């Protein structure tokens, strides 16, 4: 089966919003027979799509499976650079580990790894990341921006702003960002971002951005201890969210905001990030490996570092910590 024909057929069925799409027209477009198009329809049905037929009018889409697969993601994808190469897995240990291997083997800028399930999802500070099958977005993106390792944390904030905008656009929910890159709704975490580097001392070779989004979990899908601190978009919205659509929207905003960052520097991203921040102006505790400090969050520096004003009036830059509000 030719995936271009399959993707085009699905795109047209999807865009027709339940109206019939002529099999003859698609057959003519690709110089194929109607029987060949019918075989593509059967193949889509095998993937879980429900497709109806109206005599002399064509095929119409009844329902799409909630699967993060090529057919579903491609029908929403509008990017030029990112997601042009996507590796799909039903299950894997961690998309982040695969992302590192891909980057090492020369994967181009914007390569994406997606899995329905992760068996050893990795969070920040070597914590495990719960990645139940078929409910969330577990994705790593290999980027190759021209940056020094010192600038790399800025890309984490580019990613946080991109995911926040995408969630807003697809669901209407208005999330907050807790420094550096936790995305929260109503104080509970819906998204975590893990940024890792492959770098020489003066040059970033690849950034692997791992994004974990709780999309369609219900309470019982989370380990019990996470329920007080984590939630899913479905729990907030009261209805399921199309994961493939959200993935495509994230890649589209990531492409847009990375472009903005490359052209105009960190300034515009900093402004966007601050508009979503729930940290700025608040009294916070920064819990680090060897110490905990309390102070007022003044904002972020041009390097993306969190600036805390301590009780003695001094300003302290925080590079890596858990922030408690
Ligand atoms: C955090 O601790 O907040 C960051 C969580 C990052 C989880 C994502 S899920 C996709 C990618 N693969 C992983 O193993 N981790 C990241």
The mean pLDDT of the chain is: 94
Q: Does residue 299 share a domain with residue 184?
A: no
303 has pLDDT over 90 = no
- pLDDT band, residue 138 (cuts 50/70/90): very high
Q: Can you give the pLDDT at residue 1?
A: 78
pLDDT in tens, 183-230: 999 999 999 999 999 999 999 999 999 999 999 999 999 999 999 999
Same domain, 218 and 305: no
Q: Residue 7 above 90 pLDDT?
A: no
Atom of ligand 1 nearest to the CA of 181: 3
Nearest to 244 by CA among 121, 123, 73, 74: 73
Distance from the alpha carbon of residue 46 to the mean position of ligand 1, in angstroms: 31
Cα four-point dihedral sign 218, 220, 222, 226: positive
CATH code for the domain in which residue 19 is found: 1.10.10.10
164 and 234: one domain? yes
Q: Are residues 129 and 59 in the same domain?
A: no
Mean pLDDT across 134-151:
95
Burial (CB < 10 A; 0-12, 13-18, 19+), residue 284, is buried
Give 35-54 pLDDT, tens digit per residue.
Answer: 999 999 999 998 888 999 99
Do the beta carbons of residue 157 and residue 181 sit within 8 Å?
yes
The range of the structural domain enclosing residue 319 comes to 283-324
For residue 113, give the CATH number of its domain: 3.30.930.10
Q: Are residue 84 and residue 227 in the same domain, yes or no? A: yes
Q: Tell me which residue of 164, 186, 157 sits closest to 268, measured CA to CA.
A: 157
pLDDT of 304 reads 87
Q: In 3D, which of 315, 112, 104 has the Cα closest to residue 211?
A: 112
Residue 287 pairs in a beta bridge with 292, 322
Q: For residues 92 and 18, state if they share a domain.
A: no
Ligand 1 pocket: which of 139, 178, 189, 210 to mutate (most atoms <8 Å of CB)?
A: 210
Q: Specify the ligand 1 atom closest to the Cα of 121.
A: 14
Residue 65 has pLDDT above 90, yes or no: no
Strand-pairing partners, residue 230, are 189
| Lookup result for tokens 């057929």 | 9
User: Does the pLDDT at position 312 exceed 90?
Assistant: yes
DSSP assignment of 131-155 equals --TTTSEEEEEEE-----GGGHHHH
Residue 182 C-beta-side C-alpha neighbours within 13 Å: 21
Q: In percent, how much of the chain has pLDDT > 70?
A: 100
Ligand 1 neighbours by CB, cut-off 6 Å: 94-96, 118, 121-124, 127, 129, 131, 138-140, 182, 192-194, 210-212
Residue 118 Cα to ligand 1 midpoint, Å, equals 10
Residue 4: what pLDDT?
Answer: 87
Q: Are strands 111-118 and 86-92 parallel, antiparallel or unpaired?
A: parallel
Q: What is the pLDDT of residue 94?
A: 98
Output DSSP code: residue 47: T
Above 90 in pLDDT, residue 64? no
Amino acid 106: pLDDT: 97
pLDDT at 2 over 90: no
Is the confidence at residue 302, as pLDDT, over 90? Answer: no
% of the chain at pLDDT higher than 90: 87
CB proximity list for 58: less than 8 A, separation 6 or greater? 20, 21, 22, 23, 24, 25
Total domain count, the chain:
3
């Amino acid at each position: 089966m030719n995936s271009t024909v399959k993707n085009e057929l699905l795109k047209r069925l999807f865009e027709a919003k339940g109206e019939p799409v002529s099999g003859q027209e698609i057959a003519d477009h690709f110089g194929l027979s109607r029987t060949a198009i019918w075989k593509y329809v059967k193949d889509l049905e095998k993937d879980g799509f429900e497709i109806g037929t109206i005599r002399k009018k064509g095929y119409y889409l009844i329902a799409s499976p909630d699967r993060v697969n090529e057919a579903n993601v491609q029908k929403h994808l509008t990017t030029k650079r990112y997601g042009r190469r996507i590796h799909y897995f039903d299950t894997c240990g961690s998309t982040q580990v695969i992302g590192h291997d891909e980057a090492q083997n020369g994967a181009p800028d914007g390569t994406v790894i997606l899995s329905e399930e992760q068996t050893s999802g990795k969070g920040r500070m070597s914590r495990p990341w719960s990645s139940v099958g078929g409910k969330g977005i577990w994705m790593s993106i290999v980027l190759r921006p021209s940056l020094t390792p010192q600038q790399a944390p800025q890309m984490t904030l580019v990613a946080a702003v991109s995911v926040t905008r995408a969630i807003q656009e697809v669901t209407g929910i208005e999330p907050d960002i807790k420094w550096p890159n936790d995305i929260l709704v109503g104080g509970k975490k819906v998204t975590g971002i893990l940024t890792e580097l492959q770098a020489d001392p003066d040059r970033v070779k690849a950034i692997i951005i791992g994004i974990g989004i709780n999309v369609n979990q219900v309470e019982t899908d989370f380990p019990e201890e996470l329920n007080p601190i984590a939630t899913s978009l479905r729990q907030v919205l009261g209805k399921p969210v199309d994961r493939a659509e959200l993935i495509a929207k994230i890649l589209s905003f990531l492409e847009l905001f990375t472009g903005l960052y490359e052209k105009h520097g960190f300034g515009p991203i900093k402004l966007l990030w601050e508009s979503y921040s729930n940290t700025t102006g608040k009294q916070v505790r920064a819990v680090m490996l060897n110490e905990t400090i309390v102070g007022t969050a003044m904002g972020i520096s041009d390097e993306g570092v969190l600036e805390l004003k301590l009780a003695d009036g001094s300003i302290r830059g925080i590079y890596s910590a858990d922030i408690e509000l």
